[in-house]
Structure 1
């Protein structure tokens, strides 16, 4: 484990050396600033409308605050999406890039096992990705709360599910990095990500059209790649009760949100898939002919 932590530390240093962290900080500050500026203007417009209607105020969790609630929900979807991209793009060459440029041959010549190299790579990049998404999500929700006074019902549970999705994508990308070239790995993981997203779309269409086959296909796709299911589970915790009731009446017409909590089995499967992907990557690289 000591060697794996050493590789993880080197991976973190690599992220700083390649200015990955600095670029993320700058772009994230710009994103949060741009988003919160829009929230400020939205809040001012809603306050003015309330005054024009002769109201003294409006409930932060009532129907009059739907624009703010929807903005926070959409903002967290962007956090999930950016975190997913970050997980894939930062880790796509975790092992394969070092093999292609010849660095890996010098690393494994030292007293460190190949499995420890893979585990260290996962821990290092996983720490960067999780920290990035956690800080981004906390900054966005904290900013919305400071401006509007609105906070989703269960932000911690929602953020935890998003972080699990990011960690799972990181693990799958590390696994792909031990199996394929860097380019093929990136394409493959994005296709898997698309499978999960397609599952959400199929499920929504199936519920609207009352077509059990499509609903079943959506469930299968979400089981194969549960990233989108984790986001849908997170969206449940980001909506007040009245929005969940509206979604129920609409029969889940919005494929980007869910009115029901995620099944415990899917959360367990996502955790298991993460562990299996890392274990599979360690096993595969230990037996790969370089």
Structure 2
């Protein structure tokens, strides 16, 4: 484990050396500032409408504040989406990149096993990705509350589900990096991510159209790739009662937001799948012919 942590530390240093961290910080500040400015203008517009209507103020949990609630939801969806992109793009060459560059031959000559190397790479990139998404989501929620006084319900467990999705995607990308070339790995993981998103759409259409076949296909896709299901579970926790009533009235027609809580077994399966992916990556690379 000590060697794995050493590789994780080296991966973190590599991220800093390649300016990954600095680029993320700059782009994240720009994204948060741009989005929060839009929310600020929206809040001013809603306050102006309330004054013109002769109202003394708006309730943060009432129908008059629904635009702000949806803005918060879409903001968190962007955090989830950016986290997914970050997980794949930062990790896509975790192992295959070093093999293609000829660096791996000199690394494995050191007194460290291949399994420890893969574990260390996964730990290092997971730390980078999880910390990035956690800071991004927390900054968005704090800024939202500072501007509007509104905070979605259960933000901590909702953000936890997003972080689990990031951890799973990082693990699957590391596994693909031991199996395929860098380019093929990136394409493959994005296809899996798209399959999970397709499952959410099929499930939403099946529920709205009362089609058991589409619902079953959607649930099967969510089991194979549960990242989108984790987001839908997170979005359910972020919705106040007024938005949940709208979602249930439309029978879950919106595929971006969940109208039902996520099953605990699916959360456990996502965590187990991440662990299995890392274990499979360690096993596969230990037996790979370089």
Q: TM-score, normalised by structure 1?
A: 1.00
Structure-to-structure mapping, 1:169-180, within 5 angstroms: 169-180=169-180
Aligned partner of 2:264 in structure 1 is: 264
Structure-to-structure mapping, 1:43-192, within 5 angstroms: 43-192=43-192
Aligned partner of 1:34 in structure 2 is: 34
Query: Displacement of 1:283 after TM fit?
Result: 0.4
Alignment RMSD (CA, Å):
0.4
**1:133-179 deviation line (CA, Å, top 9, x unaligned):** 00000000000000000000100011000000000000000000000
2:209 is the alignment partner of 1:206: no
C-alpha separation in 2, matches of 1:252 and 1:212: 14
**1:104-155 deviation line (CA, Å, top 9, x unaligned):** 0000001000000000000000000000000000000000000000000100
C-alpha separation in 2, matches of 1:74 and 1:247: 15
SS of aligned partner of 2:150? coil
Query: Displacement of 1:201 after TM fit?
Result: 0.5
Query: Displacement of 1:249 after TM fit?
Result: 1.3
Moved >2 Å (runs of 4+): none
Query: Displacement of 1:245 after TM fit?
Result: 1.4
Aligned partner of 2:20 in structure 1 is: 20
Q: How many residues align?
A: 290
Aligned partner of 1:233 in structure 2 is: 233
Q: TM-score, normalised by structure 2?
A: 1.00
Query: Displacement of 1:102 after TM fit?
Result: 0.6
C-alpha separation in 2, matches of 1:154 and 1:63: 19
Query: Displacement of 1:207 after TM fit?
Result: 1.1
> Greater shift after overlay, 264-273 or 239-248?
239-248
Structure 2: gaps of 5 or more residues: none
Structure 1: gaps of 5 or more residues: none
